[in-house]
Copies of this chain bind each other. A is one copy, B any other.
Amino acid sequence: MIMKALVYHGPGKISWDEKPRPTVQEATDAIVRITTTTVCGSDLHILKGDVPEVAAGRILGHEAIGIVEEVGAGVQAFKKGDKVIVSCITSCAKCDFCRKAMYSHCRRGGWILGHSIDGTQADYARIPYADTSLHALPEGGDEEALVMLSDIIPTGFECGVLNGRVQPGDSVAIVGAGPVGLAALLTARLYSPSQLIVIDQDENRLTAAKSLGATRTINSADGQAAEKVSTLTGGMGADVVIEAVGLPATFELCQQLVAPGGRIANIGVHGKSATLHLETLWCRNVTLTTRLVDTATTPMLLKAVLSGLIDPKGLVSHRFPLADAMKAYDIFANAAREKALKLILTAH
Residues of A within 8 A of B (CB): 27-28, 73-74, 76-77, 93-94, 96-102, 104-105, 131-132, 163, 167-169, 189-192, 194-195, 215, 246, 251, 260-261, 266, 268-279, 281-292, 294, 296, 299-301, 303-304, 306-307, 309
Q: Give 20 pairs: A residue, B residue, CB < 8 Å, sorted on A.
A: A93-B132, A100-B261, A102-B261, A105-B260, A105-B285, A168-B191, A168-B309, A169-B300, A169-B304, A194-B304, A251-B278, A266-B278, A272-B278, A281-B290, A282-B290, A282-B292, A284-B292, A285-B289, A288-B288, A288-B289
Contact B101 A99 (CB under 8 A): yes
Contact B102 A285 (CB under 8 A): yes
A195 to B97, CA, bound (A): 20
Residues of B within 8 A of A274 (CB): 275-276, 278
Given contacts A93-B98, A168-B304, A191-B191, A292 and B299 within 8 Å (CB-CB): no
A277 to B251, CA, bound (A): 12
A104 to B285, CA, bound (A): 9
CB distance from A191 to the nearest CB of B (A): 7
Residues of B within 8 A of A194 (CB): 303-304, 306-307, 309
Residues of B within 8 A of A281 (CB): 290
A224 to B289, CA, bound (A): 27
Residues of B within 8 A of A287 (CB): 163, 287-289
With both beta carbons as reference points, the residue of chain B lying nearest to A167 in the complex is identified as B300
Choose from B169, B189, B299, B309 the contact partner of A301 (Cβ within 8 Å).
B169
Choose from B93, B266, B279, B285 the contact partner of A271 (Cβ within 8 Å).
B279
Residues of B within 8 A of A291 (CB): 283, 285
With both beta carbons as reference points, the residue of chain B lying nearest to A76 in the complex is identified as B94
CB distance from A238 to the nearest CB of B (A): 13
Given contacts A94-B76, A101-B99, A283 and B278 within 8 Å (CB-CB): no
Residues of B within 8 A of A99 (CB): 93, 101, 132, 296, 299
